[in-house]
Structure 1
Amino acid sequence: MAFQTPVTAEDILRAIHQKQYLLPAIQREFVWSPDQIRRLFDSLMRGYPIGSFLLWKVDAASATAYTFYDFLTDYHERDNPYANKATVPTGSGITAVLDGQQRLTALNIAIYGSHAEKRKHAWWNNPDAFPRKRLYLNLTQDAVENNDLGLRYDLRFLTEKEAAPEADSTDRWYRVGDVLTLENSGPAMYAELLRRKIGMENAEPYQRLYDLFRSVREQKPVNYYLEGTQDADKVLDIFVRVNSGGTTLSYSDLLLSMATNQWQHLDAREEVRKLVQELNSGGSRIFSFSKDVVLKTALMVAGVDLRFQVSNFTQTNMRKVESAWPDTRGALLRATAILNGFGFNERTLTAASVVVPIAYYLARRGLTDNYLTSGADAKDRLVLRQWITRSLMKRGIWGSGLDTLLSRIRDAIDEEDTPGFPGARIEKEMGALGKTLSFEATEIDDLLELKYGGQRTFAALALLYPGLDFAKQFHEDHIFPRARFTAKKLRDAGISPDAIDDYTARIDLLPNLQLLGGVANVEKQAKLPGDWLTSAFASEAEKTTYVSDNDLQDLPLGIEGFVEFFETRKTRMRERLSVILGVGA
């Protein structure tokens, strides 16, 4: 391993775009945040060391035996989160990056590319949820003192609109990638500042632009070692060792990397990537499953050890995983369709791991798409749904000891010789691990204190009132609308000041919540429940059925009877939950 002559950021990025440097398949995906990119670039502009890099010189004969990827330039969290597979011409060697991929990709995005991540609270399928942003430098002032990232330079990811100057004002935001177009660090910079209406009363704007120019095009902060061995085992050992720090290489990352080189007919990385995206956004689905869940399911379906440990990533096991991949893929797609049909999505599915045993059951029994809608399987789907919901409502089921739990569930499914989902047998195995699905009376009381938007609230309502068609979109809805419960509106409605706290303390709790279809929820808005019920149903019979099915008896016409209604419905819900969960039976 030899230390090489340092190079500029411009030089190494130019080489990356000329395909001289590629990423081996054992590399993880790009995981840095915009703030990490900003901090790295700030260090670069200050002249600080940005760490050494480790490269692997792969000769032409060895290059054909491995899979390589290009560097990511325009990151998009939903549409383009992964680097593309590279084409290596026959007879050509390449240089692969073993250590430093995250830093080099960060510099590439900062200078050549863009970053688009989902806006907070935006829906995954909203086309405007992922604004495309580039890295800009504020030429007129530095970052505020004592900022959270410790930045000296005011570097920000901005959209083109955010960076644009207002009419007749100073154009202060300079896209850092434009530094590559400056002809020199003298007159060209001066002309650029004049064009931007940035006065030269002091030298600070010029200095900032020069610091950017120097850091990218003159300084040589990229120090690297070059490994020339063609021994793949030695390279893998080096890779694991050098990736023990920074953003830690997870065992699932390593499994995916090793599978990529050990599968004979399929590309593991590409297959897992595509499946994750399809699970999360295919059809009407909106989930956030990770590759960890996919890989865990693949191990389970293949019948191998479920642990993410290096000793488990044998060639034999990887061949089994590849052989079972079509079954794994089909079962996971059906399992997510089932969860979607039960009304779950990324916000209401509180434990992603629950999809693993569902998929295994479908794969093990060879169940097809027909299972999703078949009337003959309706009873089995109900058993499955009740088990899923109860496991999500019970604390501690899908946390620690997951591998042991999944192994016992797999054994229970394998050993059951009667048709249908073996819920009782699975619950027995879970109970032996201290993960019982039996509920105590105190847990019923705890469930009745669940709040609007809470992790387990949707599951509790779905279990309480199962007669809904969850193929349609349902929302958690306040029976008595929250908008009516401000102190002023309560006083105006004749509620005594001494009773206001009794009202506001109950508004977001389970007994004031129901599941309501999306359209109906919009139509209801801030109507009192009595008014809404009168207008929402075409006949008195439909209204009566809805009231009975949802424990809405004795619903008061006005808000003054809210507390009494709340307590009465809470009692009915406690009785219903006790029966469903077998408490006191």
Structure 2
Amino acid sequence: MKINQILDKIDEKQLFIPAFQREYVWRRGHAKNLIASLIREYPTGTMLTWETNTPPELKGDWEYSSHQGSVKIILDGQQRITTLYMLIRGTLPPYYTESEIKYDPRGLYIHIETLELQYYKKTIMDNNPYWLNVTDIFQRKVRERNVIKEIKENGQELTNEQEDTISDNLQAVSNIPDLEFLEQTVPIRATLKEAIDIFYIVNASGVNLTDAELALAQISGYWPTAREEFKKKLEILKEDGFVFKLDFIIYCLLGILHNKGSEM
């Protein structure tokens, strides 16, 4: 599926993020690396989706209706998809609010001759026509002829080779929404438990999700509001002078369940 098709399906309420997934945690360095790889058309991983008529609790305000038929749930790849949504659309995806985005990837700039990626720095980017906002490029607000004109008006001569490089680089960035993002699909016959198990297996081999996060994904599949309930409890504890991470509550809960004989 092409990247722009994925974003369209999110907007059309055909593709969702399940509530049992963690929040957006990517830092700006991850966003830079993703765009750098896509410009060069390097592999960037796959998107794992689950097509289902009985989706779990979903992130955001949208509530599923059985009249909608089957929808797709993103089990793996939401950090990349969310990053691309914000950089290409320039807005937040419908399943997140501003307060939930700790590291906003927007405001990424590219040096259109060298392809260096940086977040806005006034000292090097002001009055420097080589630096362009990548979101402006995605949204077709940047024209090759205008860029070259501004560079020349800034007192810099360009060889034909340099102009060709700028043209090629602009095209490479503009083409990103049309690139294929490989999709693997869990069949519609899969149950919620099977889908969560697959999510666990896929993510357990990575280095970014802690054991507690993986456990919370399992818990949230059956207790949709668990993550929010735990976060509220952490805030209450913080007000009383006790600062804990989310992992603390998960490990406490798992300890209690284990003591009671649960096999979870």
Corresponding residue for residue 201 of structure 2:
241
Alignment of 1:111 with 2:53, yes or no, is no
What secondary structure is seen at the aligned counterpart in 1 of 2:151? coil
CA distance in 1, matches of 2:182, 2:49: 10
Corresponding residue for residue 296 of structure 1:
251
Structure showing greater Rg: 1
**Structure 1 segment 472-483 matched on structure 2, within 5 A:** none
Deviation of 1:112 after TM superposition, in Å, equals: 3.3
Deviations 1:192-231 (A, max 9, x none): 4156x123542232222111012223x32x1112222242
CA distance in 2, matches of 1:163, 1:175: 15
Higher relative contact order (CA 8 A, sep 6+): 2
Corresponding residue for residue 91 of structure 1:
67
**Structure 1 segment 149-160 matched on structure 2, within 5 A:** 153-158=115-120
Deviations 1:556-578 (A, max 9, x none): xxxxxxxxxxxxxxxxxxxxxxx
Conserved 8 A contact 2:47-2:183: yes
Alignment of 1:268 with 2:258, yes or no, is no
Deviation of 1:250 after TM superposition, in Å, equals: 2.9
What secondary structure is seen at the aligned counterpart in 2 of 1:243? helix
CA distance in 1, matches of 2:194, 2:168: 46
CA spacing shift, 1:180–1:56, aligned 2, 3 Å:
same
TM-score by length of 1: 0.37
Conserved 8 A contact 2:26-2:103: no
CA distance in 1, matches of 2:125, 2:231: 40
Conserved 8 A contact 2:138-2:173: no
Deviation of 1:313 after TM superposition, in Å, equals: 5.7
CA spacing shift, 1:18–1:238, aligned 2, 3 Å:
same
CA distance in 2, matches of 1:193, 1:291: 48
Corresponding residue for residue 213 of structure 1:
174
CA spacing shift, 1:258–1:272, aligned 2, 3 Å:
same
Corresponding residue for residue 110 of structure 2:
138
Conserved 8 A contact 1:110-1:177: yes
CA spacing shift, 1:138–1:262, aligned 2, 3 Å:
closer
CA distance in 1, matches of 2:250, 2:176: 41
Corresponding residue for residue 170 of structure 1:
128
Corresponding residue for residue 99 of structure 2:
none
Deviation of 1:164 after TM superposition, in Å, equals: 9.0
Deviations 1:152-181 (A, max 9, x none): x311233xx739954xx3333322222332
Conserved 8 A contact 2:109-2:118: yes
Deviation of 1:248 after TM superposition, in Å, equals: 4.6
CA spacing shift, 1:225–1:29, aligned 2, 3 Å:
same
CA distance in 1, matches of 2:39, 2:174: 9
CA spacing shift, 1:68–1:132, aligned 2, 3 Å:
closer
Deviations 1:35-76 (A, max 9, x none): 1221111110001121222111011xx13xx2111xxxxxxx
Conserved 8 A contact 1:136-1:173: no
CA distance in 2, matches of 1:141, 1:11: 29
**Structure 1 segment 523-562 matched on structure 2, within 5 A:** none
**Structure 1 segment 371-410 matched on structure 2, within 5 A:** none
CA distance in 1, matches of 2:236, 2:135: 34
What secondary structure is seen at the aligned counterpart in 2 of 1:47? coil
CA distance in 2, matches of 1:138, 1:304: 50
Corresponding residue for residue 54 of structure 1:
48
CA spacing shift, 1:249–1:172, aligned 2, 3 Å:
same
Conserved 8 A contact 1:255-1:313: no
What secondary structure is seen at the aligned counterpart in 2 of 1:68? coil
CA distance in 2, matches of 1:89, 1:157: 41
Corresponding residue for residue 210 of structure 2:
250
Deviation of 1:261 after TM superposition, in Å, equals: 3.2
Conserved 8 A contact 2:144-2:167: yes
CA distance in 1, matches of 2:236, 2:123: 34
| CA RMSD, Structure 1 to Structure 2 (Å) | 3.3
Deviation of 1:291 after TM superposition, in Å, equals: 0.6
Deviation of 1:298 after TM superposition, in Å, equals: 4.2
Deviations 1:79-135 (A, max 9, x none): xxxxx35422342232001122222223223333589xxxxxxxxxxxxxx896624
**Structure 1 segment 559-578 matched on structure 2, within 5 A:** none
Q: 1:213 corresponds to which letter in structure 2?
A: S
CA distance in 1, matches of 2:125, 2:210: 44
Corresponding residue for residue 155 of structure 2:
none
CA spacing shift, 1:277–1:109, aligned 2, 3 Å:
farther
Q: 1:87 corresponds to which letter in structure 2?
A: E
CA spacing shift, 1:298–1:240, aligned 2, 3 Å:
closer
Deviations 1:304-340 (A, max 9, x none): 4379xxx9564xxxxxxxxxxxxxxxxxxxxxxxxxx
CA distance in 2, matches of 1:234, 1:164: 51
Conserved 8 A contact 1:110-1:176: yes
CA spacing shift, 1:237–1:296, aligned 2, 3 Å:
closer
Alignment of 1:101 with 2:110, yes or no, is no
**Structure 1 segment 133-532 matched on structure 2, within 5 A:** 134-142=106-114, 153-158=115-120, 162=122, 165-166=125-126, 169-182=127-140, 189-194=143-148, 197-199=150-152, 200-201=158-159, 202-203=162-163, 204-217=165-178, 219-220=179-180, 222-227=181-186, 228-263=188-223, 267-280=225-238, 282=239, 289-298=244-253, 303-305=256-258, 312=262, 314=264
CA spacing shift, 1:262–1:134, aligned 2, 3 Å:
closer
5+ residue gaps, structure 1: 1-6, 70-83, 116-129, 143-152, 315-585
